[in-house]
């Protein structure tokens, strides 16, 4: 029978790569603990090191999120205004807290 391929989350890969970088255990020990071949652990470690500089980059990513945040604050303001309007209309119609 064909063995299905396991998929690991990015956070799990990072955890294993950090453990490998700390060098408190050998690759064989990490392999036994996590049930992953040592070559895979070495590959994840290399990828982690290669991509670690991206954490400190000041790119356009922050600008894109600030635009999204501005849109969300705008939407929140509109929703608060609608809620307040409907609440007042509800009270005026006599359906409010003291209406019945």
Q: Could you give phi then psi for residue 15, rounded to 5 degrees?
A: -60, -45
CB distance 33 to 25 below 8 Å:
yes
98 occurs within a structural domain = yes
81 occurs within a structural domain = yes
Ordered mean pLDDT values, 10 residues apiece, the chain (100 residues): 85 94 94 95 95 79 69 92 92 73
The answer on 43 and 73 residing in a single domain is: no
pTM of the full predicted structure? 0.55
What domain range is 67 assigned to?
Answer: 60-100
26 occurs within a structural domain = yes
The answer on 99 and 66 residing in a single domain is: yes
24 occurs within a structural domain = yes
- Nearest CA to 12 among 39, 40, 52? 40
Q: Count the domains in the chain.
A: 2
Q: What pLDDT is recorded for position 59?
A: 63
1 occurs within a structural domain = no
3 occurs within a structural domain = no
Classify residue 55 by its DSSP letter.
Answer: G
Q: What pLDDT is recorded for position 55?
A: 83
99 occurs within a structural domain = yes
CB atoms within 10 A of CB 91: 13
CB distance 41 to 30 below 8 Å:
yes
Q: What pLDDT is recorded for position 65?
A: 66
Q: What pLDDT is recorded for position 39?
A: 96
């Amino acid at each position: 029978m064909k063995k299905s391929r396991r998929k690991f989350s990015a956070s799990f890969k990072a955890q294993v790569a950090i453990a490998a970088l700390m060098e408190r255990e050998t690759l064989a020990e990490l392999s036994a603990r996590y049930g992953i071949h040592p070559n895979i652990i070495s590959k994840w470690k290399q990828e982690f090191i290669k991509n670690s500089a991206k954490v400190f980059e000041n790119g356009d990513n922050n600008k894109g999120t600030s635009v999204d945040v501005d849109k969300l604050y705008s939407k929140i303001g509109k929703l608060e205004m609608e809620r307040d309007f409907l609440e007042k209309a509800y009270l005026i119609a006599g359906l409010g807290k003291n209406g019945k």
